Structure formats: structure tokens, C-alpha cells
Structure 1
Amino acid sequence: SMLFIVPGFPFITSGIDLAKLDMRSGLERLAYAVLVVMVATLAAWMMALLLHLTPVDFMNLHLNTTQYFVLRLLFSFCGVFGFSVMFNSPVKIAATAAAIGAVSNTLRLELVDLSTCPPAIAAFLGALTAGLLASLLKAYVGYPRVSITVPSIVIMVPGLYLYKAIYNLGIMSLSDAAVWMTSALLIIAALPLGLIFARIVTDKTFRYCT
């Protein structure tokens, strides 16, 4: 539920703006995203204290590798489609973004589980895959690249990590808070970097500052 509160779109687009040296837009979006995250996570922490809740790891579902793969593809598609609809995307654009998100997010999760890949590197590779797929599809569908790339990787924004960081900070468990916050920041930085690298590879005009 915390993922819906975290403003993934401003987080990701702020990195893209900063890469193009559009400092005003990038810093404004980044500041907005940070303020929303701070308010949301602090409110969630206070409610957790009142209700005596503690963040824990997800339960083991006892599924095999194939079942995990199929379910991740399916629900990544559904999650990205939902995010795209919330961004007021038409159904065709939402479905295209969902297809890209299903592939890129499943790749990210499989890399973490099967190859012990660090989450930040897996997030970078997932975002890079999303950017490359969007560039390939753009020639056929004609949709703006940002309208299908950003929604496809918003699902990768680590809302749970940010919540755990603030929760542990609130109870003065500083070492745990630092671990979760560092992991979250690395992933958040990796996501726009993946899109930026994909854009640099596929778009000659993006490689130069105007």
C-alpha cells in the first residue's frame, strides 16, 4: 500500500530532467517527491506506533520458480496497467506500458532471486530494458516515450524500503534505518539512470545538451 503513496513519477522524471540539465524542473520535482515521501512515511510510522504494528518480511508462498515467473509476469502487467490508468493514460498506451512493465519488472525480480544480483543493479537493468523496449515500440505505435517508460517502472520504486527506513529511524534503530534508506536511495537513483542510458543508446539527439 505504501507504493501507491510514494510519488514515483516525479522521482523518476526528476532524474531525467537533471540528466538534460533542466535544473529547475528536476529540482522542483525532486523536492516535491521528497516532501510527499517524508509526510507519508512519517504518518505511516505514527499510525504503526498507535496500532502496535511492525514492518516484517513478506510470507513465503512456497511456489516453484516457474510459478513465480508466471505470476510475476501477470501481476506486473496488472500493476503497471493500474498505474498507467491513474496517470490518465488511454487504454492502448496503458496496455503497452503494462506489457513493457511485465517484462522489465519480472526481469528485475528474477535477477534478485536467481542470481543474487544487488537490488539497485537489478533495478537499473530492469529500467534499461523498459527504455530499450519502449524505443523499439515507439517506431510502431507512435506513443510518446515517456508515457510508456515511466509508468512501466514506477512499480519498481521501493516504497516498502522507504517506510522501513523511517520506521526504524523513529524507533532509533539507526543502523537498520541507514541500511533501508541506502538501499532505497540506490534503487531510486538506478531507475532514471536505466531510462537515461536507454535513451542515450537509442536517441542521438538526447546525447547532446541544447
Structure 2
Amino acid sequence: MVSIIIAESSLELVPKELWHHNAVTSYCRKMDKRPSEILLDNSWHFGAMKGMKNEIKRGRPDIVHFCLLEACTIPLYEEDELSVYVHTIDDLVIEVGRRVRLPKSYHRFAGLMEKLYSDGKVTADGQTLLSLSEMTFSELVDEINPDRVIGLSSDGKPSSYEEAAKACTDESCLVVGGFPKGEFEDSTRKRLDSILSVDQSPLEAHVVVARTLYEFEKTIFM
């Protein structure tokens, strides 16, 4: 089964050092939640995020939402031929269960992620839909144990979607960055067997996910 990791994803709860910032407290009053219970989102917390460490790669949980919708609504996933993982910027890992129907609405998705952070897992009818655990990217790769790990990044070797898909076997792992700007950290890069650039221009992560998985589907089903 091929795997995909949305790596270093811009998905996290509001860090403690921002809890008392006006941008955070006003949002919490509106949502009737505590700062420790909400996702960091630069749409609402831009003022609080200014100057924070690694600012350009944080506060975009919508990127994860788009990527998961692309990965979890295709035949490859529906036929249990795809395992989906989210590795976050603060070294947590979300494992997506089989045939999970994720909310199309971002507001509902954010609520689901906040529940996952609170409870550690989301279940329905005895099935674990989402689970959360502390794990580095390297530890996740060890757990998946793929035959090859292929990173997709604009600074990689020039390739195409078709060539990237053909480089995969059904035991390979694709890695796409789940952040708005920047590159993979060295700790991630050292676990990648190759890094490919599938387009001449930088593209949004969900586009790379959708097009690459479609090309891989063609090698399986067509």
C-alpha cells in the first residue's frame, strides 16, 4: 500500500506564549473557547504571530484540510490502496483511518482537529477515524517502513507528475510539505531517498497531492 505524508504541516494549537495576545483572546471570546483549545490560524491570529519562530511555516491549517480532502476522496484511498498521515510542525502525527469522510467545511474541519487534539483520537461506530500521537518525521518513516521515500518539492530534481508516480511502488511513501512557504527541514530531508520537482513553478500542496496521486492511480487501475 502506497503512503502519503503531509509533512511539517502548519497545524498546531495556539502556543502558550500567545495565549494573552489581544488577537487570541478576542477570538477565544467569540468562539467561547480557551486559547489552549483552538488552532493557530493566521487569518485570525496574524497580529499575535508576528515575529514568532518559523512564522512563515505556521498558522495555515487550511492547507492540511485541502490536502486531506484531495487524498481521501479518490478511488486509490476508497479501495484501501493509500495510507494517509499528517506530520505536524511540532512533531505530532495524525493517522487517518480507512474510508474516513472528512468535513468539506473548513469550520467543521477545524472543530474536528481541535477535538482530536483534546481527546487524542476520533471514533465512530467503534472505528478509529483519526488518531494523534507524538512522533517525529523520522520515527513515522520507520513505522511505515516503505521501500522508498520520495519528497516532492520545488527545489528537487526536475521531473513530472507521471515520472514521480512511476518512481513509486505500492510500498513507497510520497512526502509533500504541508506549509505555505519555505523548504523541508534538514531532519526531514535526510530521510528522503529522492526529492523531485514536478512543476516549473511552486504549486500549492493540495495541487501536488491531487495530480501526483492521480498519476499513480493510473498505474494501478488503468
Taking structure 1 as the reference length, what is the TM-score of the superposition? 0.34
Greater share of strand residues, 1 or 2? 2
